[in-house]
Amino acid sequence: MDIEKVIQGRTYIDGELRYAEIGISEGRIVTVGRLVSGGDERVDIGSSKIILPGFMDPHVHLRDPGMTAKEDFGTGTMAAVHAGVTCVLDMPNTRPPVTDVETLMDKKSAIRRRANVDYGLFAAVTSGINAGMLAPLVPGFKLFMGSTTGNILLNEDEEMIPSVRDVLATGKRMSVHAEDDHLISKEAEHCTRDHLRNRPAEAEWNAIRRLAGSFKGSRINICHITTPEGLDMAKAAGFTTEVTLHHLMFEVDRNTTAEYKVNPPIRDLDNRDRLFSRFIKGDVDMIGTDHAPHTAEEKASEFDAAPGGIPGLETTMPMIMEMVRAGRLPIQAAVRMASENPAANFGIRKGRIAPGYDADLQIYDMRITSEIDVRRLHSKCGHSPYGGYAAVFPETVMVRGEVQVEDGEFCGEPLGRDVCG
C-alpha cells in the first residue's frame, strides 16, 4: 500500500515517548518506525512537541435527536475535537430513546454527515430487548438502574436479569448507570447536600452488588463510579470501571449550586480525595466525561427543578493533560485511561499508534498551558463549571489522518463516521 502521509517526531508508542515516523494511507496507520520512506506529504513536528493517539470518550450525551436546544451532534463533536477527542460514544437516552433497530436507524440518519469526529451510538437495555438485532449496529449497550430521561429504567430483577443476559450473549460490552433506584429518594432538594442525601453511596454499592451476584466476570462497565468502595466492588467482580472529572474535582459542601447537580451526585471531600488518589494511581480503567449539557437557563432554575448533568467534553482531557504537564499524573496513565482502554474495551481500532489502527493523532506542546475561557468553548449549552481552571489543549488534531484542528483552531469539515457503519 502506498504511503500518502508521514508524520514524524516524538511519539507515544507502547508506553514511552520516542522518535518515530508514522506512515498513513487511507486513514489508517500502515507503518511506524525510525525511518519511513515515501509519502506525498511529510510533516515534522519538531523536537519540542509530542504526538499522542486521539482520545476516546466512552460516555457522552449529545442530546441529538429530540433535545438539540441543549446540544447537537455538530456542536458536541466540535467541542470534542478541540479537546483532542477523536471518537465519542453517545448514550441512548435521547428523544425518542434508542431501544430498537428502528429508533437506532432513525438516529443514525438524523446525525449522518454532521459529526466532526468519529462516533458510536449505544442502545438502551430494556425489557424484552432484541439484543441480537442491535448488536452489529452498536459499540455497546447501556443499562439504567437509576431513573433518567426517557422510559428506560430497568431495575427489577425479573426483567433486568434476562435482558442483561441477552445483551451479554452478543459479546458486546454493557455500560451501567449503577444507582439502585429502590434506594433513591424523591425528597425536596435545595442544594447538592440534599441531592446527595437523596442518592446515597449505598445506591451505587447495591447496584454493583446485584450485578456481581448474577454476572461476575462479564463484559460490564460501571459508569461514573463515585466512591472508592464502589471501585473496589466493581474490580472484584471483574467489571471495567469509568470515572468522571467532576467526581474527582468537586465536593458537596463547597460546590453547592445546581451547576453541580448531577447523577450520581458529587460527594464529600474525604470521598473525593480518596477516589482521586485511586485515579492517580491508575486503578481506574477509563475516563468518561458523562458530558450532559443543559441550557444555562435550565441550570439557573430553582435547585429542585434544575436538571442534573455537567458538560465536560471540551474541558476534561485538557485538564487531564495539565495534570500530566504538572507531574501529577503519569502520561502513561492518561493515555491508557483515555485512549487505549476505551478503544479496546469497546472493540474499536483506535487508541494506539500502531499499524492497522485509525490515524487519529494529536500534537501537543506541553510547554503551553492556558486557562479555560467558557466564552470560547464550543458546546451549545454555553456554560461550564471549569472556567478559569488550567488546561493544556492540543495544537493539532487529526481524525483518520485528516487535520481537523490546527494551531488550536478548527480547519476541517464534518467527516466523522459511525464506527459501527
Bin 366: left if φ > 0, else alpha if -120 < ψ < 50, else beta: alpha
> Which residues have a catalytic role annotated?
290
How many whole angstroms separate alpha carbon 297 and alpha carbon 382?
10
Q: How many residues does the chain have?
A: 421
Bridge pairing between strands 5-13 and 41-44: parallel
How many whole angstroms separate alpha carbon 261 and alpha carbon 263?
7
Go through 285-312 and write b for each residue having 16 or more CB atoms within 10 A of its CB, e for each that does not. bbbbbbbbbbbeebbeeebeebbbbbbb
In sequence order, the 6+-apart residues with CB closer than 8 A to the CB of 311 are: 71, 79, 291, 292, 293, 379, 381, 383, 384
Report how far apart the first and last C-alpha atoms of the chain are (Å, whole number).
Answer: 24
Beta bridge partners of 199: none
CB of 419 closer than 8 Å to CB of 118: yes
CA distances (Å), origin 70, targets 30, 36, 61, 257: 40, 46, 10, 19
Q: Coil, strand, or helix at residue 168? A: helix
How many whole angstroms separate alpha carbon 211 and alpha carbon 161?
9
Please provide the DSSP assignment of 169-182 as one string. Answer: HTT-EEEEE---GG
CB of 266 closer than 8 Å to CB of 243: no
Please tell me the number of Cα atoms within 13 Å of 21 on its side-chain side. 16
Neighbours of 37 (CB within 10 A): 10
How many whole angstroms separate alpha carbon 316 and alpha carbon 389?
11
Bridge pairing between strands 140-144 and 123-124: parallel
The three-point CA angle 287-293-294 to 5° equals: 155
